[in-house]
Structure 1
């Protein structure tokens, strides 16, 4: 009996020894520590990122650690792979460390995608011990930074015609385009459409119809110029054009441009324009939304044009180097416009066209917004005849916007 008890105790101790020894024999580990674990990349072009993958292997026998190409992802979605397979032989048992250094090139398109989604680009490497199957994954987060990394939005939208004017009078069948100048923050896609309201609808509530779709990528919070297709000039009278942006949402009313189309005819016999008499505003009246411009009617006038010019003409500032221009080019030969009586050295800052039956007006918000405050401006009203001839013009006058 005593021998049986001793035998059983010996067997139990042997089993316990085996159970205690097995985890130790199987305690094979691989630990991955990337340096750096986060970095900032640019939105202005492709970015180069160097990563050092520190790998530590603990095992009871020699072995090899492998890692397939790195996985790239944004917001949980796979964005491809990069790099080659990494491999290192560990010739002895025990704990050993090594470092893999590699350089990744992150394309600008992937940085845009991360900026739009608000999620970083994740670069991950999984290292596996071939002999024992243990593995670990290192992850590096890349964050888009600098200009364009903020949320995408439109801060300002300005419209002019292809000669940089804000109001046009032209004959039927003439060529005309509009240009949208857009100031943005962040990176994203502008979605919208050019729309026109023909003269057949502008006598009442204008009815806009689509003219062309717009899809323009923007990166880094830049100034963007988008040119319209040729505008229809077959409808005589006052026509309207605008760029209706549907994405991203804007917090302002989109401006509209007016162009007045006269009948197509040979060049008329020019006559000396008559003086157009203004009845309002009186000298010293400030320029506000309530300022009333009124004048005496000119016989035969089919339209009146009110324009504002700089008080002190000067050269236009040079175009910045960070502009983006849409692929559609400007018309290389836009229709010229004669200077109105009174002369001017610089083009108008803004203006409006009114039907010939209207002899008074007040400026709307988006028109007045083109004229910065605390400055003086020159202004003039011109009467346009049926054939596009200038029938009369007021004296060039000055007004102050407080």
Structure 2
């Protein structure tokens, strides 16, 4: 098969753009390359922070045990992964340009992995994308160093390079648009708690269905003419605005996560006389420039809790993540849902001193210095309401 025939090139390019829309088609692309070079080992790997990404791992002619060994250990000493920053993006190069054979043959990666598994190291590759903590590369490795074959492989990769790089850019753009558009709003609407996305001035950019219901009640929060949230108490209105501005400064800071825990909950009185609403706010540095238009300028997420609602925030995921004991899980659930420590101790039939010590143990395991930090941690995954709640 002549890979440079127009019909073959057209088929290869077509499969590349099919994969841009659906990553499952990268296997079809590699299958066609395999027909051209049936004895070579082909790999299209994405790496995140030096580890293979499960989101994209496509290969041909690699033994299963070799792949397991690579994922479990040998990726950590791969000179090609370690030196990926030296490779140009979008241009085919030989493996020797990354590490010369003489040096490669002295490495653990070659002697304990490449050679025993007969993977071949006469490789040609192309770096398709590189970003903070991530890189994606396509490689073809041969058992024999055939100069003519490798020249054809370099030539093919160079011809396909503009399409491959563009395909990955298109795919990321599509994923971002989907994640930041209708899919994100649909997920947002499933949250049980009322949630608002605010800009740097404290104006509402977007809100979910639970927030819409809260605004319709006109009991504790209303939406002003300029898009600001107004409390029944002017002091709390100013407090919300100041918190939003603080979130904006944190969102634009290089280490926003350090100061985020300084934003404590805000109590919002209700004209009806019912228990005050409890508002908590987080900075959103991850939305800047990467979300749909109606989220793009968001710098703060405001979540409002109604203590009178039967809906409770589950803490099962937190207990599993931080290995809380059943007793610790129960106490954490009470604290997170607004039950005072003394009341929780009485409910669980334990002394207040025991409850205090148990809370300290929970805080140690979760690395939360204060109760408010524990609440914020638990609510970083707001519970999803059931269809019956709609």
Q: Whose strand proportion is higher, 1 or 2? A: 1
Q: Whose helix proportion is higher, 1 or 2? A: 2
Q: TM-score scaled by structure 2? A: 0.27
Compare CA radii of gyration and give the structure with the larger one. 1
Q: TM-score scaled by structure 1? A: 0.26
